[in-house]
Amino acid sequence: MGNIYALGVNFKTAPVEVREKLACGSDEIRELLPFLKRESGVEELCILSTCNRVEIYAYSTVESNVELLLSLFLREKGLPDGKRFLFFRKGEEAVFHIFRVASSLDSMVVGEPQIVAQFKESFRIAREAGTTGKILNRLFEKALRASKRVRVETGISRNAVSVSYAAVELAKKIFGDLRKAKVLLVGAGEMGELAANYLKRLGCQIFITNRTYEKALRLSQELGGNALRFEELEELLPTMDILIVSTGAKSFVITEKMIRTAMRRRNYEPMFIIDISVPRNVEPSVGKVDEVFLYDIDDLKEVVESNLKDRMREARKGEIILWDEVKKFTAWLESLRVEPYILKLKDRMREAERENPLLRKIVFKAIREMKRNPDVAPIIFRIFDEEVRDVNRREGLSYVYNRADGA
C-alpha cells in the first residue's frame, strides 16, 4: 500500500528568487510530468505552480522513488542544491496540506479565490498528461469538495483583504447598487487601476484622466473606459459619483475648494473619494464637505487589517472542517488495502452463493467488516476460504458467521 506525498516550495519556505527558478508554465508542466513519472517510478503525480508556490503532489508505494522525483525536478530546473528550501510531507499531513492549499487556508491572503482555479487547472493538466490515477483523482475531488465546504460553512472570503477591493466594498456600502455609478480614476497607479477594474466588473462607467493623456488613453483601452483630458478635471468632478485618486504628484490634486464647488453643482448628491496616493493627493479637509465620504490609504488599511483578523478566525473553523474531510479520505485510502481480499472472496463465493442464497448475506457482512477494520481482512478471508465453501446447512452458516464477526 502506498502513501500520499506533498513536497516543494512556497512563500513560507523559500524567497521569491528561488520560487522564480522553480516556477513552471503550463507547457513545461506537460513535458515534465511524463518524464518525472517515468524516471522516478512514482505511480501518480501532479505539479501546482503559482506566483507563491511550486508544489508536487504524488502517490507512491516506495518513498525512495519520491526522493528521486524531487532530485530529478530540482536538476531539471537547474537548482540541484535547492533541497534546503523545500518542505516534505507524507500521509495525513500531506493530505491536510493539499486540502489547505485548495481551500486557500494556506494562501498568503487567506480566502483568496484564485487558488481554486489554479488548483483545478493543475489537476486538469496532470490528468490529460496521464500522470494521475485512482488515488490522486479521488484526492483532488475530495480537496475541491473540502474547499467548497470551507467557503460555504465559514466566512473566510466574506470581507475584503486588499486595499483596492476594500475601497470597492466601502463604495458598495455607500451607494448600494453601483451599476449606474460614474467612476473617475485620476492617475494611473496600480492600486487605483485595480479598484477601477473591480468597479468595472460591477457595472460602473469608468472614466480615466492623467497628466499624460496618452497614458489615460492606453489605460482606458485596457479597462474599457473613457479617456478624459486632465485640464478638464474641475469641469468633470460634478458629474462623477466616485473618485479614485492614485497619482505620483507631491501636492494636492483635489482641493477642498474644488469639491465644494462640485458638490453645489451636484445638489449635494453623495460623492465617494478614495485617495490611494502616497503622499496624499486629496486635501484632508475635503472630508468635512457635506455628503462627501473621503478615505485615504490608512483608512483602507485599517479596514483590511480588521477583515484579516476576521478571516483568520474563520480559517480556524475551516481547519476543523478540513480535518473531517482528511479523515474521510484516509479511511477510504486505508480501505483499498482490503480490495484484493474482497475480490478474491467474491470470486470464490460466487458458486456457493448460487447454491445457498443465505451465504450472500454473510459474505456482505464479512465485506462490510473488512472495510470497517482492514486489519482483520486476512483473518476473515481465511475463515471463509477454509469453511464457507463446504457449508450447506443453516447451522453451519451461523457458525461461520459468528467466527467471522468475532474475528
One digit per residue, the tens of pLDDT, for the chain of length 407 reads 789 999 999 989 999 889 989 999 999 999 999 999 999 999 999 999 998 899 999 999 999 999 999 999 999 999 988 889 999 999 999 999 999 999 999 987 788 778 999 999 999 999 999 999 999 999 999 999 999 999 899 887 766 556 677 777 778 777 777 888 898 989 877 777 777 887 888 888 889 998 888 888 888 888 888 889 999 999 999 999 999 888 878 889 999 999 999 999 999 999 999 888 877 889 999 999 999 999 887 887 777 777 778 878 888 999 999 999 999 999 888 777 666 655 666 665 665 555 566 666 666 666 666 666 666 666 666 666 665 555 544 444 444 445 444 44
**Residue owning grid cell 483630458:** 229
- Tell me, what amino acid is at 41? G
Predicted pLDDT of residue 96: 97
Max Cα-Cα span within the chain: 102
Predicted pLDDT of residue 148: 94
Q: 80 CB contacts (<8 Å, ≥6 apart)? A: 71, 74
Q: For residue 363, what is its C-alpha cell?
A: 459474505
* Separation between Cα atoms, residue 324 and residue 319, nearest integer Å: 9
Predicted pLDDT of residue 195: 78
- CATH number (3.90.226.10, 3.30.460.30, 3.30.420.10, 3.20.20.80) of 3-153 reads 3.30.460.30
CA R_g for the chain: 31
| Inter-CA distances, 6 with 10, 46, 82, 224, Å | 12, 10, 16, 42
User: Model confidence over 37-61: pLDDT tens digits?
Assistant: 999 999 999 999 998 899 999 999 9
Domain boundaries, the chain: 3-153, 163-304, 356-405
The candidate with the shortest Cα–Cα distance to 75, out of 21, 30, 12, 126, is 21
Predicted pLDDT of residue 118: 93
Q: How much is the pTM?
A: 0.65
User: What architecture is domain 163-304?
Assistant: 3-Layer(aba) Sandwich (3.40)
* Separation between Cα atoms, residue 292 and residue 353, nearest integer Å: 82
Residues carrying an active site annotation = 51
